[in-house]
Amino acid sequence: MIEYSSSEMAFLQKLKRQVIGQDDFIEAVYLGWLRSVRDKACLSEVIFVTGPHGIGKLFTLGVIRALLEADGFSCPMTTIRGEEIQSTADLRTELGERANAGPGILAIENFDMLAHENRSALLDWLSGNPTDMGLLGPVKFRGLVVLIAHIGTASGFASRRQIGPSESELGYIIDEFDLCFIADYGFAANNRSPDSRFILWRELSPPNRIRALRQCLRQALVDDGIYLTPKIAERTGVAFITLHHPTFAQMGEATRRALEDGPAAEVSRRLRARLTFSPAYHNAILKQAWGLGGEEAFLRGYRTLAKNCLAETSQTVRSFIQRNENNPHIAETHWRLDKDSERGPIFAEIPS
């Protein structure tokens, strides 16, 4: 087990503050990256991560990479999309192009969509035994390999939820688990019968529920034809990460950060003024992002913030900036954006 120095531990905590609700994933990525940097003989570190669409799997990797490079570390990151690999030769070419990039992050997005032959070749390659690399041959990559599978679906859930959970359908497992254990979600409470496994898991402690879920997912992956070989299963070990739909509290924190890091930061940068948001305005954004009974957050994850809820705010703030760009008195002032039920968004200057 790797030991963190005090500066590395401080950096890990900094990473965890940047992304909401993904502490296990962040620690696994940072730990894997550190190992690949420290161990010059390390072929690669492997993480298997799964979770619903829109929860931010690739986004989190990008944040980690950006913060590492801001601290002066080299961390090249590239992404291979499973559905775009047509042959083992394509896969070998993609991997070969990244082989000499140095310790970095290689994300295989939609790993579950790789053709069986390509998936088997990739897993053999990741086993770390040069004599057992199969069709890919001795391609070397020093760094962190993140296998990403989207289990738990926004698009499919709406059409499936009247049918009920099925043990043979991989996409149900995290959806049903979260509907059973995230009490905030009430939109489907009257339209579903919980999976009997999860009713039994209510007696378990939260950590043991997650362990049971991971065991269930491992078996479901095998049943779905996604074979994690014994060598890979051993290597992924505790780095078999499951991400989940956001809770109401996490969505509230996400909306607050999105307003501060987006529109408010733009006002500060371009006008050198301060912009804050009234509780009523924040709550209106949160209500839109959460949806009735949590349905928006469940079906779209955090993506609903960037694509839907903040679009109106961003346009409103850009108009405010354009009106005040040539105002010599705007610098160092403090403004608050409020929500009026009749007049819509209102800017009010806060006396210093």
Phi-psi label, residue 5: left if phi above 0, alpha if psi -120 to 50, beta otherwise: beta
Query: Distance between CA atoms of 241 and 276, rounded to whole angstroms?
Result: 36
DSSP string, 12-38: HHHHHHHSTT-HHHHHHHHHHHHHHHH
Tokens 């859930």 — which residue?
A: 157
Give 95's contacts (C-beta < 8 A, 6+ positions apart). Answer: 80, 106, 125, 136, 139, 141
pLDDT computed for residue 95 by the predictor: 74
What share of the chain in percent tops pLDDT 90?
Answer: 28
Helix (H) or strand (E) holding 104: strand 104-109
Q: C-alpha angle 286/63/337, rounded to 5°?
A: 30
Is it the case that residue 331 has pLDDT exceeding 90? yes
pLDDT at 161: 43
Closest CA to 112 of 140, 144, 85: 85
SS3 state at 153:
coil
Q: What is the pLDDT of residues 27-55, one digit of tens each?
A: 989 988 888 777 665 556 788 888 888 88
205 vs 209: CA distance, rounded Å: 6
Q: What is the mean pLDDT of residues 193-200?
A: 74
Nearest CA-CA partner of 122 in 80, 76, 61: 80
| Confidence label for 158 from pLDDT (cuts 50, 70 and 90) | very low
Whose CA is closest to 218, among 209, 205, 229? 229
**CA max distance for the chain:** 72
Buried b or exposed e, range 281-311, using 16+ CB within 10 angstroms: bbebbbebbbbeebbbbbbbbbbbbeeebbe
pLDDT for residue 16 is more than 80: yes
Confidence at residue 250, expressed as pLDDT on a 0 to 100 scale? 94
Domains in the chain, start-ordered, CATH in brackets?
6-242 (3.40.50.300), 248-350 (1.10.8.60)
Give yes or no for a contact between 313 and 263, defined as CB atoms under 8 angstroms apart.
Answer: yes
What number of helices (H) and strands (E) belong to the chain? Answer: 16, 8
Contacts of 326 (CB under 8 A, 6+ apart): none
Q: What is the pTM of this model?
A: 0.83
59-92 pLDDT, tens digit per residue, is: 999 999 999 999 988 888 888 888 888 887 777 7
pLDDT (mean) for 158-164:
42
**Contact predicate 157/299, CB 8 Å:** yes
Q: How many CB atoms lie within 10 A of CB 40?
A: 8
pLDDT in the model for residue 213:
87
Which pLDDT tens digit goes with each residue over 223-270? 666 656 555 555 544 478 889 999 999 999 999 999 999 999 999 999
Question: Tens digits of per-residue pLDDT, 298-326?
Answer: 888 888 887 778 888 999 999 999 999 99
